[in-house]
Copies of this chain bind each other. A is one copy, B any other.
Amino acid sequence: MINDTTTDVAPELACPITPVVDVVFSRWTTPILWVLNEYGRHRFVELERRITTITPKVLTERLRRLERDGLVVRTYHPEVPPRVEYEISDLGRSLAPLFAALSEWSVNLDKVEQARLDYDTRDHHPSRRTSL
């Protein structure tokens, strides 16, 4: 079983967006949705080649999950050799503004980077403080 519908765990007690995050932003799902949304229908191997580092096992798992959640549509063509096509659903497409917003926020990534540098420069180990 990939998603258990019955067990909603706790973080959303304090935060209403946690359930959405769980559906959309689990690992590997963003690249898959992004690709299908930007470049249209893909066969299994095409996805494999585009998302170069994903293994077939994991790709299958994520696609099943996205299909089950209604974000992706899988079409099986019973030919020889078999042909399967994946495309984004209307529901999946409704995430586009969200993705756009995330994409825009990316300009702030260098601030994050800078913050990390600053943080790592400062001393956070009490035992090693040099100043008094």
A68-B31 contact in complex given A10-B53, A102-B21, C-beta closer than 8 Å:
no
User: B67 touching A119 by the CB < 8 A rule?
Assistant: yes
Query: Least Cβ distance of A124 to chain B in Å?
Result: 8
- Report yes or no: B53 in contact with A112, Cβ–Cβ below 8 A: no
* A contacts with B: majority SS: helix
Which chain B residue lies CB-closest to A124? B64
Q: Find out whether the CB atom of A20 lies under 8 angstroms from the CB atom of B51.
A: no
B residues within 8 A CB of A9?
53
21 of the cross-chain contacts (CB-CB < 8 Å) are A5-B120, A9-B53, A11-B53, A14-B34, A14-B51, A14-B52, A15-B34, A17-B99, A17-B106, A18-B31, A20-B102, A21-B102, A68-B115, A68-B119, A69-B112, A70-B112, A91-B111, A94-B105, A98-B98, A98-B102, A98-B105
